[in-house]
Amino acid sequence: METMITNIAGVLLLKPDIFEDNRGFFLETYSEKKYFNEAIDSKFVQDNFSHSQKNILRGLHYQINKPQGKLVRVTNGSVYDVALDIRRSSPTFGQHFSTILDDQHFNQLYMPPGIAHGFYVISDTADFEYKCTDYYHPEDEAGVLFNDPELDIKWPNKNPDVSERDAAFPCLSKIPKERLPD
């Protein structure tokens, strides 16, 4: 596995070893020992799965008091994936990292707790898996407006299909500091 350090402190792009032959392929999607050696010392407690249609944008989501670290990957399709640093004390606060995750390369993105996350579906459909370091707490969930002009995220489509809730999230600069993870 190759590990790439991104511009966001603690956010890693992981490129797995894929073993292919005439029967198909095999890859390891998680090994606590191997991933720990790659600087991911998080304990994962919940796995999530989403299925989305083309042009769907989900995000930018986070939890305030119980932030989740996430290890994400696409098992079918292709997405434009975004990690936004919203940790108040981070030197990369307000910066984002984006990448394509797909079912050809099977790259994974690790985001430590305190990162807002979102993705846009490029393919006809996409199946997306998340390993999370904390449980989902709906009362603790919040978000940042996906098209906040100050963030300058280059989404593949300026008019994606977004839920009413996600479209109503505030811009990062309008979120009170106590509603951001530390």
Enumerate the β-bridge partners of residue 21: 24
Catalytic residue of the set 80, 110, 120, 130: 130
Q: Is 130 a catalytic residue?
A: yes
Catalytic residue of the set 61, 96, 110, 117: 61
| Count of Cβ atoms closer than 10 Å to residue 20 Cβ | 9
CA 70-68-52 angle, to 5 degrees, is: 55
29: which 2 tokens?
């999607």
156 Ramachandran zone, left/alpha/beta (phi>0; psi -120 to 50): alpha
Q: Is 110 a catalytic residue?
A: no
Nearest CA-CA partner of 90 in 64, 109, 68, 113: 113
| Count of Cβ atoms closer than 10 Å to residue 108 Cβ | 25
Residues marked as catalytic: 61, 130
